[in-house]
Structure 1
Amino acid sequence: MAEKNLTAKDILQKEFSRTMRGYNAAEVDEYLDSIIRDYDSYQKDVVFLKNENERLIAKIDELTKQLSLAKKNVATTPGSGVTNFDILKRLSNLEKHVFGAKISNSDSTQN
């Protein structure tokens, strides 16, 4: 972004040469005053936006670091590929193994 060389003070202190058919000095002064107000507003906006940009860049960096740490933790966590379906299937097989033997034993003792 190009830097502005003018400041509000520069605009306010600008002197124009006078001629016989020159501009009305009061109108020029009034116009320059309006420019100064706008220029000050733009300068405040630029400062605010630069600060906001820096804050957002820092936030992006922070979130990127958090994401990379989370990816490392997910990759090193054992059994991270196990789904709820896999867990239920294993639990069902375990129940069949434990309780299936008891059911078979109770059926054979009753006979």
Structure 2
Amino acid sequence: MKKLNYDSQQILDKEFKTSMRGYNQDEVDEFLDVVIQDYETFHEEISRLSEEVERLKAAKSTSSSSNGQARSQVNYDVLQRLSNLEKAVFGRKYSDQ
């Protein structure tokens, strides 16, 4: 992720030089207050999304391991049924070899 140049505190603390025909300081302060709010909103959203990504990764790894166990059980069940079918079709003699 690209690093931000300023955080909300740096924006809040920024001092501008004044000149005779400079910008209206109150207007600049109001604008910067809105920018700070946006930064804080973005930071909160990034944190929330990062937590969601970690939660989903954890859920996926848990799901993958339980799916593997379920597949193993299904494979065992299929092999057991196949063995029973062989015994029924070919008799016990074939399955004992």
- Structure 1 residue 47 corresponds to structure 2 residue 47: yes
Question: Which position in structure 1 is the counterpart of 2:93?
Answer: none
Structure 2: distance between partners of 1:3 and 1:75: 50
In structure 2, distance between residues paired with 1:2 and 1:72: 44
Name 2:73's counterpart in structure 1. Answer: 73
Greater mean deviation of Cα atoms: 56-65 or 1-10: 1-10
What's the Cα RMSD here? Answer: 2.1
Q: Distance in 2 between matches of 1:21 and 1:12?
A: 23
Query: 1:25-104 counterparts in 2 under 5 A?
Result: 25-77=25-77, 78-79=80-81
Aligned equivalents of 2:24, 2:60: Cα separation in 1: 53
Does structure 1 residue 16 correspond to structure 2 residue 7?
no
Structure 2's unaligned 5+ residue stretches are 89-97
Q: Distance in 2 between matches of 1:3 and 1:69?
A: 42
Larger radius of gyration: 1
- Map Cα deviations across residues 18-47 of structure 1 (whole Å, 9 max, x no partner): 223221111100000011111111111111
Aligned residue pairs total 83
User: 4+ residue stretches of structure 1 with deviation over 4 A?
Assistant: none
Instruction: Give a deviation string over 1:34-70, Cα, whole Å, max 9, x none.
Output: 1111111111111111001100111011111111111
For structure 1, the residue ranges without an aligned partner over 5 or more in a row are: 91-111
Relative to 1, partners in 2 of residues 1:5 and 1:65: Cα closer, same or farther, differing over 3 Å? Answer: farther
In the alignment, which residue of structure 2 is the partner of 1:100?
Answer: none
TM-score of the pair, normalised by structure 2: 0.74
